[in-house]
Structure 1
């Protein structure tokens, strides 16, 4: 990792001079300033590293990067994070990656250049490994929430995706359904993979063979399920599913709306269960059978772990907190 001492050596100036150029403080000759700035550019140096190497006081600012602020799950995560940060004397900067690696990378670069004490992040997917390694390189503490990334060791707060999915599928099988479709999130996201694995294994343990033509991967964002629902409904009656497992709240709501538009009733024509609990929607019926996660606690506990990591008050090893969901049975999966 490049330090201000590397820059000072290359420019043949003192580290204090480099610090003055970076922080735009003190008196530095214009010729020297330009020389140092050119070397900083050549070495792709991140100014915040200078602040750390010079032991500048903590900013008491944390960064929260979530993937979709419009999703009620992440809205509550943010509230929990903000409450805990304030309680412990920190401020929280909120960023929304929009499930985009590009936007996530932009926020990581902003964090490096502006300086925060730590980052609470829901990764956009497996491709986030690059950004997380950047944080590790610059010694910025971080905690993962909701999603894990293979090959990255860190503190993490996440839900029990496998057990929540298993219980939902067991419930729908108990209602007599044998043909069950899965509308899932992208396979490069750990939560989607865990939910798919539980879906498949629970069907198999019940003597039901999963059917690939009933399993789909789409975005976790809004307004993406309509075409998939049309495909499922257009299948011949013997091939058509009688129930759908929607892997998140947005997919579930979009699925119910799409079924309505096609003249289908829930649960009479198609039962629905889903992971995560959507916010109440005026005029929306039926109420959904869900695996409701303690979303507020994701943010609250995530910030607690992060501050412990920053202040070196927690255990040396990484902590993995898995929060169990609550199964709420409602009208969308029960006829009559």
Structure 2
């Protein structure tokens, strides 16, 4: 009987250890959620976060919410159900994402925001964003120079619900409005979309064939504008984007764009994972909640050094 009791206790201990092993494995899961995995910018965010998380010994799951706040909420539920250690999130809207981040926090899962901030403090563990205003001013200055400081131009704005769209537009105009001979003839949202930008610029060219420049809130829209301009045989129009994509890098090198603004997507994502790892090990990040990274201007002079949203 004593032997049977000992064997029973050993069996219970093994079951307990197996359970602990399962929990430990689950506790090493990092969930990465971005607006898209196909868009180069968001894809590199996800890739950067995943690479750093795996380097630090975490399992990863990658999802995209498609800028749909409801889907984002469902993905947060999935992360909670999988007992994630932390969530790396490029969110689906400053206002509409607050509840989802709060839900994760209430479940004991820290959330580390990248690229886009939310309209609340004290909910996310960290919010790591580019200095969009500073970057937009850099891009606007390059745009004014490319246009010879005069002429009619078009502004393509990102998704109106995205804080970054408004901040970049304000940064553009902080510079451009100081040039009396620069005249904005059209300002339209293309929702960060290349296809929408292509269609919008086609229509704008018909209404305003005199335009000499297009400044875009992201590189995806800039590429749509370039395609529309090429289709119309308008190689005389200056184009400036924002993000630092390989596509616009190549367009700059080929003389089809004047400049873009690099926001360090790869580094932001990896830093978010590093902070998450530190928080999980030490209970704190040692940093303020909101962290801002400056942007860099990319022109023909340094375009060759740009690769996957990082300057080599």
Compute the TM-score of the two structures, normalised by the length of structure 2.
0.79
Q: 2:34 aligns with which of 66, 69, 75?
A: 66
Q: 1:204 aligns with which of 148, 168, 177?
A: 177
Per-residue CA shift, 1:139-190, capped at 9, x if unaligned?
2101100001112433122111111111111122123134332101112112
Given the superposition, is the C-alpha separation of residues 329 and 297 from structure 1 closer, same or farther in structure 2, using an over 3 Å criterion?
A: same
- The answer to whether structure 1 residue 194 and structure 2 residue 163 are counterparts is no
Given the superposition, is the C-alpha separation of residues 208 and 166 from structure 1 closer, same or farther in structure 2, using an over 3 Å criterion?
A: farther
- The answer to whether structure 1 residue 275 and structure 2 residue 246 are counterparts is no
Q: Distance in 2 between matches of 1:261 and 1:287?
A: 12
Aligned to 2:199: 227
Q: Distance in 1 between matches of 2:166 and 2:298?
A: 23
Per-residue CA shift, 1:253-298, capped at 9, x if unaligned?
1111111222322xx1x110000123349x9643531112222101
- The answer to whether structure 1 residue 159 and structure 2 residue 138 are counterparts is no
Per-residue CA shift, 1:188-232, capped at 9, x if unaligned?
112111101111221223346874x52111222331112210232
Q: CA deviation at 1:236?
A: 4.3
Q: Distance in 2 between matches of 1:209 and 1:151?
A: 37
Aligned to 1:330: 300
Aligned to 2:80: 112
Query: What stretches of structure 2 of length at least 5 have no aligned partner?
Result: 1-14, 302-312
Aligned length: 273
Provide the aligned C-alpha RMSD in A.
2.7
Per-residue CA shift, 1:113-141, capped at 9, x if unaligned?
22101100000112112211211222210
Q: Distance in 1 between matches of 2:292 and 2:40?
A: 20
Q: Which structure: larger Rg? A: 1
Structure 2 matches for 1:171-186, cutoff 5 A? 171-175=142-146, 176=148, 177-186=150-159
SS of equivalent residue, structure 2 residue 38 = coil
- The answer to whether structure 1 residue 80 and structure 2 residue 53 are counterparts is no
Per-residue CA shift, 1:29-81, capped at 9, x if unaligned?
xxxxxxxxxxxxxxxxxxxxxx9xxxx54620000001111122222222221
Compute the TM-score of the two structures, normalised by the length of structure 1.
0.73
Q: Distance in 1 between matches of 2:172 and 2:181?
A: 11
Structure 2 matches for 1:6-45, cutoff 5 A? none
SS of equivalent residue, structure 1 residue 311 = helix
Given the superposition, is the C-alpha separation of residues 104 and 194 from structure 1 closer, same or farther in structure 2, using an over 3 Å criterion?
A: same
Equivalent pair of 2:65/2:72 in contact (CA under 8 Å): yes
